[in-house]
Amino acid sequence: MLLAIGVTALAGTAGAAEPQQVTFPSGNLELHGFIFKPEGNGPFPAVLYNHGSEKRPGSKPEIGEFFARNGYVLFVPHRRGQGRSPGNYIMDALSGVSRMARGPLMVQLLDQQSQDVVAALDFLKKLPYVDAGRIAVSGCSFGGIQTVIAAEKDLGLRAAVAFAPAAMTWRESTGIQERLVTAVKRATVPLFLIQAENDYDLSPTQVLSKEMEQAGKPHQAKVYPPYGTTQAEGHGGFCFRGVDVWGGDVLSFLSAHSRR
């Protein structure tokens, strides 16, 4: 059942699409999110975009405006405990945990949050202006992890674009490494792995693309030139503000795998 959609105009770039604030069910939780929509009635192809580990992820207006301008609906759901959604914040649960216990707990919590991604996708498919047969998933950092996990599942997706999955946690957690390697070996859709050269760790793109190649899974992988001057800029800054760099490649990838 669809929940009521409340419209909230947010400040943004002049002429940018204005996002709608929506609520949707995930188990016994009522989660929140934001939808950017092109002008017109559609049905439009859509991208579900997974935010990272930030406590207040917002609506991602730079990305939303870019996709809406190019004919895609963009849905940014807030997973449990983040943004406007109720629940325990994942980073609070991980704080104070020993390094040995942190990795397995991180995998457990990320798999739990993946239920919210599935619920968000179910909601997105039912929107009357969305072409339910042309939906892709994307995301950055922890959201990149969620994207890889979603690509493993039979969710009726067309493609997945993962920015910097586990770039900040790869070396500290063999559990995360194993979880993502397993996911890409089981991938059900083509996957595009993307990072900037000055990200925290390029191992995720390097290792996961090699695993997909060996498994015969359709994929692309690209490391772009450094973005900004710091690792933080090469990580989140590249994901959220680098559309002029990666936008054309991502649109080409999505178009190639989303045709009717």
Read off the pLDDT of residues 173-222 as tens digits, 9 standing for 90 and up.
889 999 999 999 999 999 999 999 999 999 999 999 999 999 999 999 99
Identify the helix (H) or strand (E) that includes residue 241.
Answer: helix 238-241
Tell me which residue of 202, 217, 220 sits closest to 166, measured CA to CA. Answer: 202
Give the whole-angstrom CA distance, residue 202 versus residue 225.
Answer: 12
Dihedrals φ, ψ of 27, to 5°? 60, -125
Give the whole-angstrom CA distance, residue 91 versus residue 113.
Answer: 12
Domains identified in the chain and CATH numbers: 5-257 (3.40.50.1820)
- Longest Cα–Cα distance of the chain, Å, equals 52
pLDDT at 173: 87
**Are 39 and 95 in contact, with CB atoms under 8 Å apart?**
no
Q: Helix or strand or coil: residue 82?
A: coil
Tell me which residue of 58, 53, 117, 57 sits closest to 91, measured CA to CA. Answer: 53
pLDDT at 156: 95
pTM for this one? 0.90
Give the CA angle between residues 159, 176, 158 to the nearest 5°.
Answer: 5
pLDDT lower than 50: segments of the chain: 1-16
pLDDT at 260: 66
